[in-house]
Each structure stands twice: as C-alpha cells, then as structure tokens.
C-alpha cells in the first residue's frame, strides 16, 4: 500500500484539476446575483468530500448559504480535529484589472490565477486532499470533522447560530484552519493573532433632490463635501483614530513582544516597491508590521455620490455614501466599536444634513497561545516539510468566527495557512502558488500525526 506521501505524489495532477473545477464556480457571497453559484459550490464541495471518504456528508441549511458538514470517526479514544474553511469568495471587481477572467483559472509559471485560488478555496481544498490521502493510505490518526461555510466573506452571520446549536456535533480538541499566509516560501510562519472587524455603511443627505450646482452651489450643504469632512475628521495629524473611546479596549503589546516582532524578517523597500508607493503611511509611533497587526485601524472601503459618469455634470447631489471598516485588536469589542462609531458619526454631522449609519458585520480579534500542543503539532509539521521552524506572527486580517468558536465550543483554533501576502486576495489577479498548494497537502498529515502523538 502507498504511504500518504506516495499517494499525494501519485495523485497531485488530479488534485489540481479538481481545484480548478471548484475555482470555475463564481461563488460570490456578497452579490445576490451569484446565489445559484454559491449553492453549486457547496454541493461540489460536499460531493468531493464524500468521494474522499467522509461519512454523514450533508448540506446544513441556514437562512443564508448552506454549511458543508462531513466527518470520519476512526477511534473514540483518538483526538478530534475540526477543519474549518469557506467555499465562498470575494467579489471579483474591478474586472477590467484582471489579466484573465477571474473564474477561468489559468496556471502561469507554477502559479494558479483565479478568484478564490488562495482565499480560501485553494487552502481549504488542501485539507480535503490531505484527508483523502491519509484515509487511502490507512494513516488517519485522528477523528476529523469538516465544517465548510459559504458566508465568510460577508460576516459568517449564520455560522454563529449553527455552531451554538450544534455543540455536540462539533465537539473537537482543536480547530484547524488554513486561511492565512506565511511570510515567504522559505520563511514559514503561523498566525497566532487576528484582528477583529466592524464594517459600517453610512449615508449623508443634504437637499431632498439633486440640484443645479450653479443655482444652489455655495448656499446649500453639499453631502459629498460634508461626508469628506466627516471622514477626514476621523484621523488626527498622527493618524490616530478620533472616535471617543475607540482605543479604550486595546490590549497594549509589551515592549518585549514588540522587540521580538521587530525580529520578524521584513524588507520595507521591497514592500514599497511591490505596492508602487514611495512611502508607507500610518499611525505615528508604530512600525509597518505593527500598524498591520497589533494596532486597530479605520479604512474607507468604498465611497460614491453625485455624477460619476463620463464628462461633466454640474450637479449638487442629494446624497453621498461610504463603506467604512475598522480592524480591531484583541480586547476591543466589535459590538462596542460599532456602537461608538455610530454615535460619533451622528454626533459630528453638521446641521443641514441628515445621516444614516448601518452596520454590515463584525467580529472579535483573537490570540493563540504558543505553548499549546496544537501549536507545537503545527509548528513541528511545518518544520518537517519546510525544513525550518515557523515564525509566530500576528496577522492583520480577520476571521471573526475564530473568536466565536472559542466562546461557543471552548476550543482553540490553529491558523496554519500557506498563502502569501502578495497573493492579491480580495484584489484583481488573486493567485496561489502550486508550491504552496502542494506544501499544504504535505504538511497537514504531519500535523495530524504530531497532534495524535502529543495528545497521548
């Protein structure tokens, strides 16, 4: 019988072909126009999981998109690993910036280009294939449960209720997630921290209709100008966020931890060159790595209002809109920040305009202890396949569900991701390296071996 390693080697081309099939399904959860495709992706994942040998595979329906569940219980005495991931993807726009259609994957120079290639189809699919390989080689040392959702990119609104209502079904010793990045292909790392999120949408209304800017300009509040002034006021000269109470919950990082963070390999010139910028920009008193991980932020993700077509229209618009999100650090409450933002935005609205504030979704930050056996199992697994100890890092992104897992299930999550920050997730030309895809499939079985051994 083939070893797990041999099985992977023998089937790697098929694994890749299957992933490309999954990437061809435009499962954009944010846009209702793709509702049918999102469901199609769920059914595809369930079928693939069933074919890999999982039991009780099913779609758990929710008020939104279904959650794919499946499991393999090999031994009541063995530890149980709950694998979490998502089959939905970010919207692909702006489409014109893609070199190839986002849902027609192509492979160039050993890299897969497609929306979802890295986030998260490519990474969650590594687990399905590692599972298939362990099973086929009769080398699955842990019980395994899969929970793969379709609403991660829109806030996992329904997963929370599902988890709370299915604590027994989801009972596990650790949750394993691959939805993060390593520092570089020769510098493995494990995310031990995540930022939380509050995502808001605001509307500012001036006059009750669009007006002629010549007849009314200068005499009536322009909602775009006012919105710009309100947004502008949310950062001070040091790029501190000015919302009262915003920093109250922030867990300050010790000088020692900041010193060790400073040891993380980071090339500022290469970073700026990659982004085409002549300087970085952020909160005074913190490094780029710190600004993007241990500090909370406020970003405008979108803004629109007035005439945006070709040519010139001399309109003084009735309304202006913005989508504004805040990244939060551990101990900041998303609900509280959402409340503070809402109160502040209404408070700073000048007379002459009406404002509306709506919360899209949010989630809490997360910290993973590095002294757990789960972390050691992941660290040793990567050390084996990369030939180098992974660096513990804190990521700037958010996987809100991770904090919820701990709250509802009392189980920690291991963020063993294999992407790269340069994979352009959420951007045009998202991609994922074949090196990373196969390295993940190779590494996961080692985690299972290590976790089973360390659990004894």
Q: Please calculate the CA angle 406-367-127 and round it to the nearest 5 degrees.
A: 65
The phi and psi torsions of 414 (rounded to 5 degrees) equal -105, 125
Q: Which of residues 163-192 bind a copy of itself (CB under 8 A)?
A: 181
Residue 283 as a binder of a copy of itself (CB under 8 A): the answer is yes
Contacts of 262 (CB under 8 A, 6+ apart): 287, 289
Site string for a copy of itself, 94-113 (x = CB under 8 A): x--x----------------
- Say how far apart CA 149 and CA 403 lie, in whole Å: 16
Q: Which is nearer to a copy of itself, 115 or 129 (CB)?
A: 115
Q: Minimum Å distance from CB 213 to a copy of itself?
A: 5
Per-residue DSSP letter, 71: E
Nearest CA to 169 among 150, 151, 147? 147
Q: Minimum Å distance from CB 280 to a copy of itself?
A: 6
Q: Minimum Å distance from CB 406 to a copy of itself?
A: 19
Q: Which of 227, 243, 377, 401 binds a copy of itself (CB under 8 A)?
A: 227
Residue 351 as a binder of a copy of itself (CB under 8 A): the answer is yes
Give the max Cα distance, the chain.
83
H or E segment to which residue 227 belongs: helix 223-232
Q: Please calculate the CA angle 273-275-279 and round it to the nearest 5 degrees.
A: 70
Q: Which of residues 44-63 bind a copy of itself (CB under 8 A)?
A: none
Q: Which of residues 296-335 bind a copy of itself (CB under 8 A)?
A: 296-297, 299-317, 320-323, 325, 327
Contacts of 61 (CB under 8 A, 6+ apart): none
Q: Which of residues 369-428 bind a copy of itself (CB under 8 A)?
A: 395-398, 421, 424-428
Q: Which of 225, 331, 372, 455 binds a copy of itself (CB under 8 A)?
A: 225
Q: Which is nearer to a copy of itself, 56 or 346 (CB)?
A: 346
Residue 266 as a binder of a copy of itself (CB under 8 A): the answer is no
Residue 39 as a binder of a copy of itself (CB under 8 A): the answer is no
- Strands 431-433 and 315-316, bridge-based pairing: unpaired
Nearest CA to 403 among 163, 144, 79, 201? 163
Residue 238 as a binder of a copy of itself (CB under 8 A): the answer is no
Q: Which of residues 360-379 bind a copy of itself (CB under 8 A)?
A: 360-361
Q: Which of 154, 170, 202, 253 binds a copy of itself (CB under 8 A)?
A: 154
Q: Which is nearer to a copy of itself, 229 or 260 (CB)?
A: 229
Site string for a copy of itself, 122-151 (x = CB under 8 A): ------------------------------
Specify whether the CB–CB gap between 195 and 397 falls below 8 A: yes
- Say how far apart CA 187 and CA 336 lie, in whole Å: 37
**What distance lies between CA 227 and its chain's CA centroid?**
28
Q: Which is nearer to a copy of itself, 67 or 200 (CB)?
A: 200
Q: Which of 73, 186, 217, 236 binds a copy of itself (CB under 8 A)?
A: 217
Q: Which two tokens stand for residue 375?
A: 């972390």
Residue 277 as a binder of a copy of itself (CB under 8 A): the answer is yes
Q: Which two tokens stand for residue 384?
A: 């084996």
């Amino acid at each position: 019988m083939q070893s797990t390693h041999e099985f992977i080697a023998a089937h790697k081309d098929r694994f890749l072909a299957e992933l490309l099939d999954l990437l061809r399904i435009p499962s954009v959860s944010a846009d209702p126009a793709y509702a049918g495709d999102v469901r199609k992706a769920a059914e595809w994942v369930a079928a693939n999981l069933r074919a890999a040998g999982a039991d009780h595979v099913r779609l758990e329906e929710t008020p939104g998109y279904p959650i794919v569940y499946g499991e393999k219980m090999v031994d009541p005495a063995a530890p149980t690993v709950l694998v979490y991931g998502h089959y939905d993807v970010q919207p692909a726009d702006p489409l014109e910036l893609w070199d190839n259609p986002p849902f027609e994957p192509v492979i160039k120079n050993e890299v897969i280009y497609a929306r979802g290639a890295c986030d998260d189809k490519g990474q969650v699919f590594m687990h399905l294939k590692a599972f298939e390989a362990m099973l086929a080689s009769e080398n699955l040392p842990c019980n395994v449960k899969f929970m793969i959702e379709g609403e991660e990119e829109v806030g996992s609104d329904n997963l929370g209720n599902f988890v709370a209502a299915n604590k027994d079904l989801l009972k596990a010793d650790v949750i394993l997630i691959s939805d993060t990045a390593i520092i570089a292909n020769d510098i493995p790392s494990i995310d031990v921290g995540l930022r939380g999120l509050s995502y808001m949408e605001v509307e500012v209304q001036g006059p009750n209709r669009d007006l002629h800017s010549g007849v009314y300009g200068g005499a009536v509040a322009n909602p775009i100008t006012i919105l710009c002034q309100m947004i502008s006021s949310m950062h001070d000269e040091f790029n501190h966020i000015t919302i009262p109470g915003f920093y109250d919950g922030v867990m300050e990082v010790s000088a020692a931890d900041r010193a060790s963070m400073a040891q993380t390999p980071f090339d500022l010139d290469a970073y700026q060159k990659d982004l085409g910028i002549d300087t970085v920009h952020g909160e005074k008193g913190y490094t780029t790595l710190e600004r993007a991980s241990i500090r909370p932020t406020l970003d405008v993700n979108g803004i629109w209002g007035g005439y945006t077509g070709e040519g010139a229209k001399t309109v003084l618009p009735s309304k202006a809109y913005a989508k504004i999100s805040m990244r939060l650090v551990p101990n900041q409450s998303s609900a509280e920040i959402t409340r503070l933002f809402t109160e502040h935005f209404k408070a700073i609205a000048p007379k002459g305009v009406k404002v509306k504030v709506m919360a899209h979704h949010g989630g809490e930050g997360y910290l993973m202890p590095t002294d757990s056996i789960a972390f050691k199992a992941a660290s040793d697994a990567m050390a084996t396949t990369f030939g180098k100890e992974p660096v513990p890092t804190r990521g700037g992104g958010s996987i809100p569900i991770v904090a919820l897992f701990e709250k509802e299930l009392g189980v920690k999550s291991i963020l063993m991701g294999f992407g790269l920050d340069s994979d352009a997730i959420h951007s045009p030309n998202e991609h994922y390296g074949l090196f990373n895809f196969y390295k993940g499939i190779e590494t996961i079985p080692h985690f299972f071996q290590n976790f089973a051994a360390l659990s004894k």
